[in-house]
Amino acid sequence: MVVSSVSFESLHVSWTEPTNCSPTDYIVTYELTFLDQCLEISDQLMNRTISNTTLTIDGLEAFSTYSINVFGRVNGVMGEPRTGDGTTGEEGN
């Protein structure tokens, strides 16, 4: 899984489809873990359901770190997550 900063309020997440099965969709969860790179925080867990292997998450806090999990789902059963962290850019840069 690759997580990259798009802007001060967006992250782009991409991953490869599993080779042993073809998920019908993916559940992507994300949670703010460090606000402004100095305040550890446990924010509300957010999620999105999508059918492709890329997602741009908008409306995030600037210069902050998010924990991201991607679960493939086949017939309603979620597989093991792919995990990663991403940090948004600084506002004004």
pLDDT means per 10 residues in the chain (93 residues)? 95 92 94 84 87 96 94 92 94 71
pLDDT for position 93: 59
- How much is the pTM? 0.89
**pLDDT for the residue numbered 83:** 96
* pLDDT score recorded for residue 20: 83
So what's the pLDDT on residue 21?
85
In order of start, what are the domains of the chain with their CATH numbers? Answer: 2-87 (2.60.40.10)
47 HSE (CA, 13 A, CB side): 10
